[in-house]
Structures are given as C-alpha cells and as structure tokens.
Structure 1
Amino acid sequence: MTIEYLTFGIGISFISWIIGMIFNNILVKTEFYNSLSHLNFIENKTLNKYIGLFYFKWVVNNTFFKFFNQKIKIRNKNTVLADIRREMTIAEISHLIGFVFVTFIALYKSISVNPLFGLTIMFVNVFLNLYPSLLQQENKRRLDKLMKRKLTFGTR
C-alpha cells in the first residue's frame, strides 16, 4: 500500500507543477504578486544547510532535473540578471502554489483514507515543491547580491 501512496504522491506533485504554473500566470497580473516576489522563508544559511538544501541543490544540478527550467541559467557576462530573477520568482511561486495544492489533497486523503496516505503525499510534496521553492529563494538572495555588486562596481 505504501508504494501506491508514494506513486500517488509523485503523480499529484508533478500535476501540481502544472497547476502552479497556471495559477502563477493569473497571479502575475496582480499587484499582490510583487510582494510575493520577495518572500524569504529561511534566510539563515546554517538552517538551509541543516535541512539539506545543499544536497537538494546537488541533486537538481546533477540529475535530469537540471533540464527542467533552462531559463534560469547565467550563460555569460551579457546575461540580463533581472530576467533570471524574474524566472526564478516564477518558478518559486509556481512551486509554492503547487505545495499548497498538494497539501490540501494530503489533508483530504489523511481524513478520507488514512493518515499514512497523507503523510506519504506530504513527504513527496516537500521534496518536489517546497525544497525547489526554498532553493529558488536562496538563489535569488545570491543573485540579488550579485546584482547589487554589479550596480555598485559596474560591469567588469
């Protein structure tokens, strides 16, 4: 039964990516979206390290996940960093929307089927939606520092 729960969790998390992109496209047209683009759940690097975000980043960079969003890459010195940041925000918010969507499904399954089903879904949801969002937040902080340095010292 746990394999079925895990399979369902993976499937619904992948579906949530599409749901997240759809709702993100709706939200991007609102004034509220600007405040969403500056979210920081975990600003502490030590805590990020403690929860294993470094290892998650390694997995993303060294597996098939690296091919998912090719717009989030600094290719050369002429790359427009503001465009990269915008794409990071889109990915971050889409994953957060997906996380909330799957959380509601996990709660429903916990009540209607059993708590193990909901916990299994949430386990997958954390790794396929929450961690990618946290990783984008960390990357945006690093990019913001780079953009600030570029403004302060000019392009080299």
Structure 2
Amino acid sequence: MIINAFLNKTTFYNKHLINLNFIKSTRLNKLIGVYLIKWIVKNTFFKFFNPNLKMKRKMELNELENLRKEMTFAEINHLIAFICLTIFAIFKVLHGYFLLALLLMFVNTLMNLYPSLLQQENKRRIDKLKKLFIS
C-alpha cells in the first residue's frame, strides 16, 4: 500500500497503470475462473473487505469515475502484493523450499492475482457505463 501511495502520484501511474489490462477477453476470464472469484467475493465474507468498491443501482458520472479510481487503487495494491510475494517464493525455491513456494504461489494467485483480474473486468464494465452516460 505504501508503494502504491507513492506510485499514485507519478505520471507513469496516471498514463499506464490506470488503464492496465492483462486479459481483455471476457471469454478467457470465464475460462480461467475470474467469474468464480467474483461470485465468491460477492457472496462470502470477502464482500466486507472493501466496502468502497460497491456499485449502487443509480450512480452519477462522477461517482462512476471515483469508483473506477478506487478499483484501480485496489488493483495496483493486489498487483504489488503479487509481485512481492512472487519474489519471496522465488527466494524460497532457491533455498530448496519447493513445497512452501508452491503453496505460497497458490495462495498468492488466489488472493492477489485473481482479485486484480476481477478489478480489471469491473473497470471495463464501468467504462462501458461511462460511455452510455456520455452518449
């Protein structure tokens, strides 16, 4: 979160990271299970973790833009955590702790990579809604 707070103020963040998309295909997202993670987040205790990321039935354009900014911030936080934990897992592999590294990467993927992909999918949906507002 500290790294993201510093990145947030850079031009790199505002030019590149706010529009970051790893997987642009909705079909591929379904195939790798992003929609399963979406269901888990919506229907379990995970929904209480970040209440700022809830969409209301009726929202104004500026509210959609604020929601998108919050989603981008959460997405970058998850990506930074994913990268840091991946580096840690690589060090564990180098020291011979293969099972620990595998477990770390499994949990890391579920808890950091998938939420980031879910935020990217949600941002694309918000962008479609913003286009409806503008036209």
The bucket for the TM-score relative to the shorter chain is over 0.9
CA-CA distance at 1:111 after TM superposition: 1.3
Q: Distance in 1 between matches of 2:24 and 2:117?
A: 10
Please give the per-residue CA displacement for 1:30-59, whole angstroms capped at 9, x wherever unaligned.
111011110110011111011011111000
Does residue 30 of structure 1 match 2:13?
A: no
Structure 1 residue runs of 5 or longer lacking an equivalent are 1-20
Q: Which amino acid aligns with 1:137?
A: Q
Find the residue that maps to 1:149 and give its secondary structure. Answer: helix
Q: 1:110 aligns with which of 89, 93, 106?
A: 93
C-alpha displacement at 1:114, in angstroms? Answer: 2.0
Gaps of at least 5 residues in structure 2 are: none
Aligned to 1:46: 27
How far residue 76 of structure 1 moved from its aligned partner, in angstroms, is 4.3
TM-score normalised by L of structure 2: 0.94
Tell me which residue corresponds to 1:60.
41
CA RMSD of aligned residues (A): 1.0
Q: Name which one, 1 or 2, has greater alpha-carbon Rg.
A: 1
Aligned residues: 132
Aligned match for 1:85, one of 51, 64, 68: 68
Percent identity reads: 54
- List per-residue Cα deviations over 1:124-155 (Å, max 9, x = no partner): 00000000000000000000000111111xxx
Once the two structures are superposed, the pairs formed by residues 70-81 of structure 1 within 5 Å of their partners are 70-79=51-60, 80-81=63-64
TM-score w.r.t. the length of structure 1 is: 0.81
Quick one: which of 123, 126, 130 aligns to 1:140? 123
Which of 1 and 2 has higher RCO (CA within 8 Å, sep 6+)? 1
CA distance in 1, matches of 2:97, 2:65: 45
Q: Which moved more, 1:94-103 or 1:115-124?
A: 115-124
Deviates more, 1:127-136 or 1:112-121: 112-121
- Give the whole-Å Cα distance in 2 for the aligned partners of 1:149 and 1:85: 15
Q: How far 1:119 moved relative to its partner?
A: 1.2
Question: In structure 1, what is the Cα distance between the partners aligned to 2:2 and 2:23?
Answer: 26
Query: Match for residue 4 of structure 1?
Result: none
Distance change (3 Å), C-alpha of 1:78 and 1:54? closer
| Cα shift at 1:22 | 1.4
Deviation at 1:115, TM superposition (A): 1.7
Structure 1 runs of 4+ aligned residues shifted over 6 Å read none
1:119 maps to a residue whose letter is L
Of 106, 110, 123, which residue of structure 2 is paired with 1:127? 110
